[in-house]
Structure 1
């Protein structure tokens, strides 16, 4: 069987390795000239790095080199993806780089089914269009491969004389190039921010926190959005001499990288004990079912404990937390974001200022904007950091299929986050945000190969639709703080892993006893899932 994989990044290569090992012909197509996806040169913003550790992000059975730090850089990640391709037997012949999938056309069943892909060289060089036939297509380009989300109307924007950028415009830039693009005149200087102690200082917050705003700076930059990209870009700009004003529509809970300044939070957050207490669409183990049922007070108490520890660890800074009265519920309604190393230092130095809840209401002058709170900010640039338009990134699919995928209006709803009951022979790997990314890709690809082998029989389309609707309704309620809740897994990754393992008839809890509940995720626990599934002699409906 020929499998066409759209994307040659972490998810595309991970899927290709497992599909090729199962005996399938695979072709990976990517518009970038090198393997690595968003981590390859030109695919990311300046100084990008992970917010989870190398040892939880990686693939099962393939550790990062010992020289890689806990939070790998983009260059280290791109090299890791390339090494995984080579390790898994993928050669140059498996890849079609600098190539765009312009369109997919469904082949009628009477002609064998599957797809015909129209491939076009990026930039028009090296030849014309090419038709490629495939039995299945796996979209592994991620949620961030589309154009930026549209900027909402801002009154008087046509009179603004500063720069207007999206986070996508910064891809491929170095730090100095970003400063120039944002109109920041001062040279990059990281020594000042590094010298500021990681302590709490006065900071302005238009939502009502105490403290005066910093004095006007000719190098102020307004960043709209408060995700990891926005925080990372704010740090780069502040290190270059700008005051970075981060404007967020709501106050967000932010998870510190350490509890009390010295206990790493990631091992705690990546334990099964911490994740199972969160409301989830899937309670697949007896303990999870008990905590979702009769033991719900214990589950709520543990959630409050985590919130209290995190709140104390940031000393109650309002620019790093949400409203206290709704903390335990609100934290787990959204996909929280880790606080990047050094972000708090820059807040304390007032080189980064958070305005939340707030928004850009109008242009106040040629190089200033007025927020909805009434605060006027001088700025050399408006930097829009609200992610990608996932739907627009799938324009190569037939229009009817795109409509089916996004019909619910809250992201791509998929059965097991992988296939759609009304779009046959099309699968998605990484159409979501999650922790434990490499493990998720490994399990999804293994799940797909068992489907392709006929060992894993999917339920009828009607049953799939019902399950998709149930999970979608849960996410729309519980994860309502997210723009596309259907595409969010994040800290509920064990629910996702357990579902896939259950379908494959393998034990979902990979390490027994207390260690299995308290130890942080190790991708190696899942390295043998494919072999276990084959030994289980599947052939039952899931």
Structure 2
């Protein structure tokens, strides 16, 4: 098939590599001038680093270079992806600096894809893979008084739009949000800004890279046991015993971690103990504690205004300010929003987008991949997890298997029912914060198990047993795509005979 892939991040590149292995003619489109997606130099904010250590954040068949540190900077992740492109010969199939303006279903099947930029034009493809990322467009709240802020010389941007620290040197910076990006940027900004104030509607639990300064957090959350502490949609095996009626083990384990983290980060003295229990990390992406953040709060270089939001912006004494919901007013020369992203596919026609979403606007994708009611279309990387590179890669394997007819999917009505139940559970579990049905944290390995189980290429019990106590190694899955390619080749040979 001729296959168009939208996006040159982890998901797009993995899809290109796996589909090429099965003989497809692929073209990867990305409006950025380089590969990387959120790691592109056009989107990296100061202080951007991975949440995972390098042993757990890579593709199955391409480990991180030994020269890289345990936690990688944004530029190093982008360099890693450049090396991936070179190793697997993907460069000829990339069209960088070329955005997809629209993709329209063709009358006889497939898609007519219109692009802008370096290689603008319209071409027909048999299949379309959407890999534009679930963090594609920054979501900046609709604040009152933006015009007043701008007129007074203020600036409102997203974290990904902060290109460098010179933009905030000697300025009064207001960070909106308490997620990873906000805290990362706050630390870097505080080194040069006149003041740095973080406005947090609610506090999230942050996990230190090393518990008690010794135990790498990967042994806590990046194992199957760590995942098993949170009840999955359907409990089986060991997890059923963990969460048996009356069992207090999961709560006790999480409670002990809460006590250690609270003491280690000095949260009581800083007034930054979250209201929700530590177990609430299951309701959103777990945020790694930014090094230097709590130290900055203690030193007074970072101020946190908890349990409040920006009510409006205003001009005061000719200078830009923000009035908070508690009635206080703070200087706001530069307002940086780490308030999340919108998951959008603006290049698809409205009628197609309508068929992709449920009544609450969540993506209704079977296995986080297949829209039941839109032919010749799949999604890769719409399963944000602790192991996003591996999750995206295994989605690519599912797509390749599906297109080859290597596995079959249930009847449409069955898939719709599975999707409805899944999304409803995700919405309930996260109090409506499931990133429109795309965030599978903390159930990363469950998602991979389901994807590979349906394809018939899951890893063995011995591998999974090790993963219960030791961090998941993506390299354990390095032969999955090769096994699929061999099976498809054997089937094609048998059919031709």
Calculate the TM-score normalised by the size of structure 1. 0.83
Instruction: Please give the alpha-carbon distance, in whole angstroms, between the structure 1 residues aligned to 2:487 and 2:13.
Output: 26
In the alignment, is residue 98 of structure 1 matched against residue 97 of structure 2? Answer: yes
Q: What are the equivalent positions in structure 2 for 1:388-407 lying under 5 Å apart?
A: 388-391=341-344, 394-407=345-358
Residues 1:352 and 2:302 are matched in the alignment: yes
Please list the CA deviations of residues 159-205 of structure 1 after superposition, one character each: whole Å capped at 9, or x if unmatched: 6614222226625x2322x32xxxx33xxxxxxxxxxxxxxxxxxxx
Match for residue 141 of structure 2? 151
* 2-structure distance, mates of 1:417, 1:12: 15
Aligned residues: 485
CA contact (8 A) 2:383 2:391 kept: no
SS in 2 for 1:56: coil
Deviations 1:370-396 (A, max 9, x none): 2111222122222222122222xx110
Distance in structure 2 (CA, Å) of the matches to 1:513 and 1:7: 31
Long gaps (5+) in structure 2: 492-497
- Whether the 8 Å contact between 1:51 and 1:340 is mirrored in structure 2 is no
Partners of 1:5 and 1:300 in 2: how far apart? 43
**What CA distance in whole angstroms lies between the structure 2 residues aligned with 1:328 and 1:369?**
31
CA distance in 2, matches of 1:468, 1:343: 39
Bigger drift between 158-167 and 487-496 goes to 158-167
1:271-326 Cα shifts (integer Å, max 9, x gaps): 1111112122354x522333344575333333333333323332334665421xx4
Structure 2 contact 100–115 (Cα < 8 Å) conserved:
yes
CA contact (8 A) 1:250 1:358 kept: yes
SS at match of 2:466: helix
CA distance in 2: counterparts of 1:405 and 1:238, whole angstroms: 42
In the alignment, does 2:386 pair up with 1:386? no
Aligned mates of 1:513, 1:455 — CA distance in 2? 24
Q: Which residue of 2 aligns with 1:87?
A: 87
Going from structure 1 to structure 2, the CA distance change for 1:534 and 1:87 (only over 3 Å counts) comes to closer
Deviation at 1:533, TM superposition (A): 5.2
| Structure 1 residue 476, shift from structure 2 partner | 0.8
Match in the other structure for 1:332: 282
The answer as to whether partners of 1:162 and 1:382 remain within 8 angstroms in 2 is: no
1:503 & 1:175 partners in 2: Cα distance?
48
Q: Is the 8 A contact 1:251 1:319 kept in 2?
A: no
Instruction: State the match for 2:26 in structure 1.
Output: 26
- 1:423-473: CA deviations, max 9, x gaps? 222111112421112211221111111101101101111111111111111
TM-score of the superposed pair, with normalisation by structure 2: 0.90
Instruction: Tell me if structure 2 keeps the 8 A contact 1:166–1:385.
Output: no
CA separation in 2, counterparts of 1:370 and 1:260? 39
Q: What are the equivalent positions in structure 2 for 1:459-470 lying under 5 Å apart?
A: 459-470=410-421
* Deviation at residue 266 of structure 1 after TM alignment: 2.2
Q: Single out whichever of 443-452 and 249-258 deviates more from structure 2.
A: 249-258
Task: Quote the residue 1:266 is aligned against.
Answer: 218
Equivalences for residues 520-535 of structure 1 within 5 A: 520-532=471-483
Alpha-carbon separation, structure 2, partners of 1:435 and 1:274: 11
C-alpha separation in 2, matches of 1:81 and 1:320: 37
Partner of 2:116: 120
**Deviations along 1:244-282, whole A, 9 cap, x unmatched?**
111121122222222123322123211111111212235
3-state DSSP of counterpart to 1:367? strand
Whether 2:488 is the aligned partner of 1:492: answer no
